[in-house]
Amino acid sequence: MMLWRKPHFRWILQKTEGKDITCIRLGNVHVIVVNSPELACEFLKKNDAVFASRPITMATEYSGRGFLSVVIAPWGDQWKKMRRVIASEVMSHKRFRSMAKMRVEEADNLVRYIQHQSEANDQVIDVRKSLRYYCGNIIRRMIFGCRHFGMGAKDGGPGPGQEEIEHVEAAFTVLSLIYAFCASDFMPSLRILDIDGHEKIMKKALKVINKYHDPIIEERMRRWRTDGGVDDEPEDILDVFISLKDNKGKPLLTMEEIKAQAGELILATVDNPSNTVEWAMAEMLNQPDILRKAIEELDRVVGADRLVEESDFPNLPYLKACTREALRLHPLAPFNLPHVSTTNTTVAGFFIPKGSQVLLSRVGLGRNPKVWEDPMRFNPDRHLNEKNVELAEPDLRFISFSAGRRGCMGAPLGTMMTYMLLARVLHAFTWSLPAGEESVNLSEEELSLFMAKPLHAFAKPRLSFLN
Ligand code: HEM
């Protein structure tokens, strides 16, 4: 029945609107949609051990090369192994600190790129493209140690080369299909028909990503593991993955695991920060008082003689409230990643059969009028009475990094990137709308929660040392 109600997620949002919890039967699966923070905490804080698995789907089978990588692996040894590797080797405090310089270089490059566009295009900036480019650069440098896969921009400027544009586009295509209610995930006998065409699109997009990743990974593995190996210190995450050893001194990760995990880290990093900041900018351009307040704070804390740095963020509560408000009101996806129950259980009096999929609704929570006053209004001030304004929302009144044992592993990095994006673009440039546009059109795309029209705006450098 659901097959012809497209887009599926809008139909589910409509069916569950206003209800704390709803059970929908999709094919053979009970799908439980949760809109209440109290119930969300029952699932992911009190009972999270039971709901720590993920569904088996066509798209995640491809993206994780047979469920090898952490985000999409069902509960079990493979998930534990990869979660441990990411926690101790990729997202450790030590690694985060050691990559600080690289993050500054990419933040500087973002400013240069916007400045370059403003000179070349008479100041109209493709804001979405610029934000996504920064996110792609951060994670490409973390994993592969490079900003560009090829020679960079044709004009030799700070922008993306054709390779990076293709890479980030393919990543967003893959992301659009992951947990996208593909019919055959709920009725496996349909898989061979590929009714929604998802399988074909998925294969094509992954081919693009693999075209860039695989040769680098294969060459690097050859260097580290054959040719007598190298005794260098690992310089990037790929080196780390390759050089990790198990307790018998054998390589801990296979090539397939490395390829799957490298690809997945790209996906986990490019989307949320860029989407949050695009919406924040759009909302703020429509509410000049909010924009002015954020800029005043930046001028007071940072001044006009230097660019914003990570160490400024504790002193920028209003800026942080703007990003938090955008994440609440404009989540990247309608639902949190699905959690699957591994036994029959009862939660808050509701019987939940084994194998159910629990979807905490990012839209249902973040825009819930029982939780948020005037929920559709972009109002950063509502967060200022929090003790310490941050993106994290452990009480699950909206979903930022979620909670429990499947919670986000990249919260510190994702937080820094999001703050840095908004802080740099607001502090370094004066923004205005293209002629003839009185306000930004805040409609969502029908098939996703992205802005229907990618944000474009004029930027004029506002710090004298940038001129
Ligand atoms: C603002 C940026 C980000 C946001 C809002 C965000 C949000 C989320 C959310 C909602 C989940 C699902 C949690 C659940 O299943 O309950 C998640 C999972 C995850 N995120 Fe993030 N994320 C961000 C950035 C990152 C970054 C930069 C990385 C790493 C490079 C990352 C790595 C992961 C991983 C590995 C998981 C899956 C953990 C598991 O299944 O065990 N995230 N994230």
- To which residue do tokens 């390779």 refer? 163
User: 86-93 long-range contacts, Cβ below 8 Å, gap at least 24?
Assistant: 86/261, 86/409, 87/409, 89/237, 89/240, 89/241, 89/244, 90/142, 90/237, 90/240, 90/265, 90/409, 91/409, 91/410, 91/412, 91/413
Structure tokens at 281: 């900018």
Question: Strands (DSSP E) along 304-394, which ranges?
Answer: 339-340, 345-347, 350-352, 357-360
Residue 256 near residue 303 (C-beta atoms within 8 A): no
Q: Is 360 in the pocket of ligand 1 (CB under 6 A)?
A: no
pLDDT at 3: 60
Identity of the amino acid at 300: R
Beta-bridge mates of residue 352: 345
123 lines ligand 1 (CB under 6 A): no
- Ligand 1 contact via 83 beta carbon (within 6 Å): yes
User: Going by CA atoms, what residue is nearest to atom 43 of ligand 1?
Assistant: 408
Dist CA 150 CA 148 (whole Å) = 5
Ligand 1 centroid – CA 260 distance (Å)? 16
Residue ranges per structural domain of the chain: 2-466
Query: Residue 296 class from Cβ within 10 Å (0-12 exposed, 13-18 middle, 19+ buried)?
Result: exposed
Euclidean distance between CA atoms 78 and 67, whole angstroms: 8
Indicate if ligand 1 lies below 6 Å from the C-beta of 252: no
CA distance 340 to 353: 10
Q: Check residue 227 and give its pLDDT.
A: 64
**Ligand 1: which residue has its CA nearest to atom 28?**
410
- Which residue among 75, 238, 357, 408 is best mutated to probe the pocket of ligand 1, counting the most ligand atoms within 8 A of its Cβ? 408
**Which residue among 401, 405, 416 has the greatest number of ligand 1 atoms within 8 angstroms of its CB, and so is best to mutate?**
401
Would the CB of 275 count as within 6 Å of ligand 1? no
Nearest CA, atom 41, ligand 1:
406
Mean pLDDT of the chain: 95
The sign one gets for the Cα dihedral 103, 109, 110, 112 is: positive
3-state secondary structure of 80: helix
Going by pLDDT thresholds of 50, 70 and 90, the confidence category of residue 364 is very high
pLDDT of residue 409: 98
CB of 71 closer than 6 angstroms to any ligand 1 atom: yes
Please state the rounded mean pLDDT for residues 308-320.
98
Q: Is a pLDDT exceeding 70 seen at residue 424?
A: yes
CA-nearest residue for atom 1, ligand 1, is 414
User: Which tokens sit at 292?
Assistant: 């002015």
Per-residue confidence band for 451, with pLDDT thresholds at 50, 70 and 90: very high
Give residue 337 CA to ligand 1 midpoint distance, Å.
Answer: 9
Q: Is 24 exposed, middle or buried (0-12, 13-18, 19+ CB in 10 A)?
A: middle
For residues 158 and 224, what is the distance between their CA atoms, to the nearest angstrom? Answer: 31
Answer whether 16 contacts ligand 1 (Cβ < 6 A).
no
Does ligand 1 come within 6 angstroms of the Cβ of 268?
yes
Q: How many CB atoms lie within 10 A of CB 387?
A: 5
Q: Judging by DSSP bridges, how do beta strands 29-34 and 357-360 pair with one another?
A: parallel
- Tell me the C-alpha to C-alpha distance, in Å, between residue 416 and each of 269, 390, 410, 425, 441: 12, 10, 10, 14, 28
* Average pLDDT, integer, range 371-394: 95
* Residue 430 phi, psi (nearest 5): -95, 125
Which atom of ligand 1 sits closest to the CA of residue 407? 13
Contacts of 221 (CB under 8 A, 6+ apart): 242, 255, 258
Q: Which helix (H) or strand (E) holds 459?
A: strand 456-461
C-alpha 375 – ligand 1 centre gap (Å): 24
- What is the DSSP secondary structure assignment for residue 445, as one 8-state letter? P
Residue 2 is given by DSSP the state G
The pLDDT, as a whole number, for residue 233 is 82
Whole-number CA gyration radius for the chain: 22
Q: Are 367 and 382 in contact (CB under 8 A)?
A: no
The atom of ligand 1 lying closest to the CA of 400 is: 5
Average pLDDT estimate for 270-277: 98
Dihedral angle, C-alpha 68, 413, 201, 151, nearest 10 °: -110
Model pLDDT, residue 228? 59
Map tokens 């070349």 to a residue: 120
- d(C-alpha 13, C-alpha 439), whole Å: 28
Q: How far apart are the first and last CA of the chain?
A: 59
Q: How far is residue 203's CA from residue 59's CA, in Å, rounded to a whole number? A: 9
Q: Which residue has the tokens 């544009």?
A: 165
Give tens-digit pLDDT for 90-110.
999 999 999 999 999 999 999
Task: Give the distance (Å) from ligand 1 centre to CA of residue 135.
Answer: 14
pLDDT at residue 415, rounded to an integer? 98
Give CA–CA dist 117/130, Å, rounded. 9
Residues 325-342, mean pLDDT to the nearest whole number = 98
* Amino acid in position 136: G
Cα(408) to centroid(ligand 1), Å? 3
Res. 211: pLDDT tops 90? yes
Whether 408 is in the pocket of ligand 1, judged by its Cβ within 6 Å, is yes
Q: Does the pLDDT of residue 1 top 60, yes or no?
A: no
Superfamily of 2-466 according to CATH: Cytochrome P450 (1.10.630.10)
Q: In the structure encoding, which two tokens stand for residue 108, read together?
A: 């500087």
Main-chain phi, psi angles of 456, to 5 degrees: -125, 140
For the cut 70, the answer to whether the pLDDT of residue 4 exceeds it is: no
Q: How far is the CA of 197 from the centre of ligand 1 (A)?
A: 27
- What pLDDT shows up at residue 195? 84
